[in-house]
Structure 1
Amino acid sequence: MKKYINQLSLRLIILSVMIMAISSCKKTEDAPDEPARIFKPSDVKITTAEVSAKLTWTAPLLSTGKILKYNIDFSTDSLFSTIKYTATSDTTGVSVTEDNLGVRIRYYARIKAIATETQPESKYIRSSAFQLSGIQLFLAVRDNEVKENGVTLRFTPTTDLNSIVLTPATGAATTVTLSAADALSGSKTITGLVGGMKYSAELFQGTKSKGLTTFTTLTATTYTTRLNPGDDLAAAITAAANGAVIGLNPGTYTLIATSFITQKAITIKSTSGNPTDTKVNYKEFDLEGTGAGLTLSGIEFDGTAGASLYFLNLIGSQANNASAATFTNIVVDNCIAHGSTTAFLRGDRGAAARDFKISGITVNNSIVYDMGANGSSAYYMFHLTKLQFNTLNVSKSTFYNNGPGLVIASTTYAGDVIPSVLISYSTINGFGGNAKYALVDANANPISFVVQNSIFANTPKSGTVVASAIRATGAGSTLTISNSNYFNLNTALTGGTALTFATATLTSNQTTGLTWTAATTDFTLPVGSALRTASSTGTAIGDPRWTY
C-alpha cells in the first residue's frame, strides 16, 4: 500500500510540473507584457496620389511620455528581401514622392519604433501593397497613326520631356530621344518597329515617368501587287485573284468607269496607311455575285469627278442585277469617302427579300461626307432593305452632310438571325430628310439597333423634312441609345417638332447643345466640355479624332 501511495504522489508531482511548464509557455507566448510587442506601432493607413503617398500609424502602447523615432523601409516584395528606400520619422507619419519611389510600381512598407535607452526596438508592422499612380501626359493613341512599322505618339506639350522608352512584348527595350521641339510640339513619330507587335511606351522627364501607354503595330501586309500613280488600277482590279491585296503607293488614281469585283474578295490598301496622301477618283465599286467582297484601307475616295451615284453597290450580275447572291464581308477602314449623290452602300437589288445575303459590314475610323443629294435622295446611307445581314458596325467614324437617313432594313422577312446595327464612338451631323426616318427604319422587321458613346445632331437638312428618328416595331427588336449626346433634332427646320426615339431605351444620355450647324465640318469638342468624359469608359464621346 505504501508503495502504491508513493507512486501516486510521484505522478501528481510530475503532473503539477507539466501544468506549470505549459502555463509558463503560454504566458511567454501570449501575454501582452513583452516590451518589443507593446512597443510596436499599429494600424497603418496609406493615402496615395499621382506622385506621392502618405503613411500614418498609431503610436505604441508604451509611448506615453516618450520621444520616439521610427524606421520605415520600402520594398517591392512583402518579404522585404530587397529594400528600395528607407526613411525615418519622429512623428506617426511619413511622406514619400516620386523622388523616393518609382511610379506605377507595387510597394510594401514596414515600420518599427527605434530602441530608446529604456526600451528595445519594436517588432515591425507591415502595410498592404500600394503604388504611386503617376502623371499621365500621354494622349490616346489614334488608330490611324498606328502603322505596320511605326507609330505617332501624342502627349501634353511639356518642357524638359527628354525620352520615350519603348518595350516590345518580346525583345529588348529601346530609348527614343525627344528634342526640345518634340517636347513642345506634343508628338513624336517613331519608325523601325516590328509589325504585329504589342509595345508599351513610357514617357520621361529626366528619370521621372510622365506617362504610360500601350499600342500594337499593324500586322505586316503582303501585297499581291503594288501600284504607282499612272498605273492602271482598273486593270489590276480586273486581274486580281480572290484574296489579292492591291497596294497603292502615295498619289492619285482614277477609275473613270464602274469597277466590278466579280465573285472574289479583294483588298485595296494604301502602302502609307495615310488617306490624305493616297486618293482614288472613283465612279462606283460594284460587288458582283456570290463570293464578292471588298476591304478598303487608308485611302481617300472622291466620287465627284466620276459623277458617282453609289460608293458601294451590291449586284447579282451585270446581266441581271437582281439575281441571288451571297456576298463576302465589306470593310472600310481608315478611309475618307465622299461625293456619291445617292447612297454610301446600296444592297436592295435582290428580286425578293433574302435573295442577297452578307454576314458583316464594317466602317471604322473613317470620314464619310457629301452623300445623298442634300437629303432628298430616296436611298438611305446604308440602304439594306431586302438584304439579309448579320451585323453592321460603325465605329470611331464621322458622317456629315448625308441623307436622308442612316439605315433602312424595312422589307419584312424571316431571316436566319436578327440583324444587329451598332454605332459607337461616332459623330453624325447634318442628315435626314425626304420624309424618312433619320436613324433607322426597320418597319416590322425585328432588329437590334444600338447607339453608344456617340454624338448626333442637326436634322433635317435644308429644305427637307424628317418623319421621325426611329421606326422599328418588329417583335423581338431591341433599341438602345446610351452615353450619347444629341441636339437640334427636329422634323423640320421651321415649325417642326423635336424627334423622339420610339421605344428605345435611353440611358446616361445628354442633350448638350454645341455650336455646330448642318454646314459644320470641324467637330472638335470644346476644351473642358463634359462630353470629353461622358463615355461609358470615362473618355470622350463621338469620333475620337475630334478630342485633340
Structure 2
Amino acid sequence: MNDMKKINIQYIFLLSFLVLVAVSFSSCKKMLVEKFIPSRMFTPTSVSVSGGDTSVTISWPASLNAPTKGVTYTVEINTDSSFRAAPALSITVNATSVTITDDTLQDNQRYFARVKANSSNASSSYWMVDTVAFTLIGVQIFHPLQSSDIIDNAVRLTWTPTPDVSEILFTAANGDTTRVAISDSVNMAGQLIVYGLQSGTRYTAQILAKHKSKGKLTFTTLAPVTGANVIDLRSISNDPLVLFDTLSQIPSGSIVLLARGQTYDFPSSYVIDKTVTIQSGLGFLSPAVLSLANNFDASGNIDSIRFSDLAIASAGSNYFMNVSQPTNITTLSVVNCTTQGNYSNSFIRLKEKGDLISNLNINNCIIDSFGVGSKYSLIYANASSAASIANINITNSTFYYFYSLIRQDKVTTSSINISNSTFDNMINQGGYFFQYTTFPTSFNITNCILGNTLDPTNAQGISSSSATVSVYNSYMTSDCVFSANPLTGFTNYSGTASQLFRNPNQGDFTIIDNSFAGKNSSGDPRWRN
C-alpha cells in the first residue's frame, strides 16, 4: 500500500515537471501577431454636397489606405436610401469630387449618394459609411402666384419667356394629370389662363422645355360661391346704384357678388346693420369698384362684415368706415382690396363710446393716402377713450402715404400681429407709427419692411418705451428716421427706400436690391425678389 502511494506521488511530480517545462518553453518563443489591415480603404467617413439648384457637387476625403496613384472612386446615386433599388446613376472618377447636373438627374427628386474607393492594388473595396441626401431644385421661370390669379375652375400663370418651353403639366392631388401645350407665341407672351380645373383642388403645375422642368408651382383652386344666401348682382349692368339699393333689402348672412370691371356708387353714408360679405365675383378682370361719396357706418351687434376683392375709391369720402353709432362687431375683414384716391381722415375709425371690433383682419391689401394733412391715424379708436379694437391682424399688405398707422386711447386691448407687410412714405406732423395709452400684451411684428418717413424731424415710432414688441426678420431703410421714441428690434438696411424699391413714390415696392438680406422673406410677398 505504501509502495503504491509512493508511485502515485512520483507520478504527480513528474507530470508537474513536464507541464512546467512546456510552459517555460512556450514563454521563451516570440509570439507571432497577424498584421492588422483595415477592412476599408476609407478611414474618414464624410461625404458632402454643395449646390442644389441645377447642379450638385459631391465630394469626399481621399483614400488614406490606398496607393496615391491608380485610385478611382465609384459614386452611386439612388432614390432608395438603402440602395437596394437599381441606381439612378453610377459613375467612376479619379478625383475626390464630381459635379452632376439636372441634365442627368430629375429636379425635385430626393436622391441619396454613396462613394467607395477602387484600387488595382487592393484586394477589396467598401462603400463609405456615410451617405448624403440632396435634391436639385431646378430652374424657376414661373412668377409667384397672387390671390387674384386663382379662381374656382382656372388659374392664370405667368413666366419668363424661355427657349423651347412646350407644355405645362398639371397634377392634381389624386394623381390625375393634364397636359397643356404652349405655342411659341404664348411662350413669348409669358402668360396663360388655364380653364377646366376642379374647384377646391390642390394642383402642382410644372412648366417644361424639351421634357425638362423649368419651374414648378403649387396652388389650390377656390370653392365656387354658391348657396341660398348668395345675392348675385353680376348680371345687372348700367345701374351704379344697384348695390346701394340692394343692401338694405337682403337678409343677414348674405354674400353679395359684384361684376368685375363695374363701378358701384354710394351717394351717401351707408349704415351696415347685419352680417354681410361684399365681394367681386370670381374672374380675371379688374375687381369691382366701390365709389364712396361718403363712408360706411355700422350699427348694432354684427357677427361679421367682410369686404373682399374690391377697389375702394374715394369720390369725396374722408373715410372708408367711420362708425358713429353703438356697434359691436365680432369680425371685420378687408381682404384682397386696394384703395383709390385721397382720404383726409382714417381708413377705419370708431368714434362712439363703447364701440368694439373684436377682430380686425386686413389681408393682402394695398392701402394708401390716409390722414396725412389732417393728422388722422389710418386705424383709429378714440370715442372719449372708450372705443376699442381688441385684436388687429395685418398680413401680406402694403401701406403708404399715411400720417399714423394705429391709435387707440386709454383702452386695454389684446393683440397686434403684423406680418409680411411693407410700409413707406409715412408719419409726419408728430404722428406715431403706433400710439397706444396701454399696449396689448401680445405685440408681434414679423417679416416686415419700414421705409421712408415723410418728416424725419417730426416723426415718432411708438408712444411708450415700456411696450414689449417682438420683432423678427424685419428691416428699416436708412431714411426711416424717427425724431423721437423710435421703434427698436429692426435690422437696419444701409440704403434708402428708393434704393430698395423700384418706384416707391408711385406705389411700386418691388425689391430691386439683390444684396438685400430680406429680399425673399420680408415685406409684402407681392414685391419680393
TM-score (structure 2 length as normaliser): 0.79
Separation (CA, whole Å) in 1 of partners of 2:369 and 2:525: 21
Offset of residue 163 of structure 1: 3.0
1:507 corresponds to: 490
1:399 corresponds to: 399
Separation (CA, whole Å) in 1 of partners of 2:298 and 2:285: 22
* 1:298-447 matches, cutoff 5 A: 298-304=309-315, 307-315=316-324, 321=325, 323=326, 325-339=327-341, 340-350=343-353, 355-372=354-371, 375-385=372-382, 386-402=386-402, 404-410=403-409, 412-413=410-411, 415=412, 417-420=413-416, 422=418, 424-429=420-425, 431-433=426-428, 435-444=429-438
* 1:96-495 matches, cutoff 5 A: 96-112=100-116, 116=120, 120-125=123-128, 127-137=130-140, 138-222=142-226, 224-228=230-234, 229-230=237-238, 232-250=242-260, 251-262=262-273, 264-272=274-282, 276-282=286-292, 283-291=294-302, 293-304=304-315, 307-315=316-324, 321=325, 323=326, 325-339=327-341, 340-350=343-353, 355-372=354-371, 375-385=372-382, 386-402=386-402, 404-410=403-409, 412-413=410-411, 415=412, 417-420=413-416, 422=418, 424-429=420-425, 431-433=426-428, 435-444=429-438, 450-452=444-446, 453-460=448-455, 468-473=459-464, 477-478=468-469, 480=471, 483-486=474-477, 488=479
Offset of residue 271 of structure 1: 0.8
Partner of 1:459: helix, strand, or coil? coil
Separation (CA, whole Å) in 2 of partners of 1:383 and 1:215: 36
Separation (CA, whole Å) in 1 of partners of 2:523 and 2:40: 60
Structure 2 counterpart of 1:326, one-letter code? N
Partner of 2:134: helix, strand, or coil? coil
Offset of residue 247 of structure 1: 0.7
Structure 2 counterpart of 1:425, one-letter code? S
Structure 2 counterpart of 1:397, one-letter code? S
Separation (CA, whole Å) in 1 of partners of 2:472 and 2:78: 48
Separation (CA, whole Å) in 1 of partners of 2:102 and 2:286: 42
Offset of residue 261 of structure 1: 1.5
Separation (CA, whole Å) in 1 of partners of 2:116 and 2:337: 62
Separation (CA, whole Å) in 2 of partners of 1:421 and 1:53: 40
Separation (CA, whole Å) in 2 of partners of 1:369 and 1:33: 76
- Is 2:479–2:497's contact at 8 Å kept on the other side of the alignment? no
Structure 2 counterpart of 1:512, one-letter code? G
Structure 1 counterpart of 2:388, one-letter code? Q
Offset of residue 445 of structure 1: 5.3
Partner of 1:164: helix, strand, or coil? strand
Structure 2 counterpart of 1:109, one-letter code? A
Cα–Cα, structure 1 residues 46 and 401, in superposed 2: closer, same or farther, change >3 Å? closer
Structure 1 counterpart of 2:93, one-letter code? S
Cα–Cα, structure 1 residues 148 and 426, in superposed 2: closer, same or farther, change >3 Å? farther
* 1:34-53 matches, cutoff 5 A: 37=39, 43=45, 45-49=47-51, 50-53=53-56
Offset of residue 266 of structure 1: 0.8
Partner of 1:272: helix, strand, or coil? coil
Partner of 2:418: helix, strand, or coil? strand
Structure 1 counterpart of 2:288, one-letter code? T
Gaps (5+ residues) in structure 1?
13-26, 316-320, 490-497
- Is 2:362–2:394's contact at 8 Å kept on the other side of the alignment? yes
Structural RMSD (CA): 3.7
Separation (CA, whole Å) in 2 of partners of 1:52 and 1:518: 35
Structure 1 counterpart of 2:322, one-letter code? N
Partner of 1:473: helix, strand, or coil? coil
Structure 2 counterpart of 1:296, one-letter code? F
Separation (CA, whole Å) in 2 of partners of 1:486 and 1:38: 57
Asked if 1:67 is matched to 2:70, the reply is yes
Separation (CA, whole Å) in 2 of partners of 1:58 and 1:487: 46
Partner of 1:520: helix, strand, or coil? helix
Structure 2 counterpart of 1:268, one-letter code? I
Separation (CA, whole Å) in 2 of partners of 1:57 and 1:512: 42
Partner of 1:291: helix, strand, or coil? strand
- Is 2:432–2:463's contact at 8 Å kept on the other side of the alignment? no
- Is 2:458–2:483's contact at 8 Å kept on the other side of the alignment? no
Partner of 2:508: helix, strand, or coil? coil
Partner of 2:47: helix, strand, or coil? strand
Asked if 1:543 is matched to 2:524, the reply is yes
| 1:308-359 Cα shifts (integer Å, max 9, x gaps) | 13211224xxxxx2x3x32121111111223443221111222xxxx11121
Separation (CA, whole Å) in 2 of partners of 1:92 and 1:445: 60
- Is 1:370–1:400's contact at 8 Å kept on the other side of the alignment? yes
Separation (CA, whole Å) in 1 of partners of 2:328 and 2:43: 74
Partner of 2:460: helix, strand, or coil? strand
- Is 1:280–1:299's contact at 8 Å kept on the other side of the alignment? yes
Offset of residue 547 of structure 1: 4.4
Structure 2 counterpart of 1:368, one-letter code? I
Give the aligned length.
Answer: 487
| 1:196-246 Cα shifts (integer Å, max 9, x gaps) | 333333333323333333233333322612113345212321122222111
Cα–Cα, structure 1 residues 361 and 61, in superposed 2: closer, same or farther, change >3 Å? closer
Identity %: 23
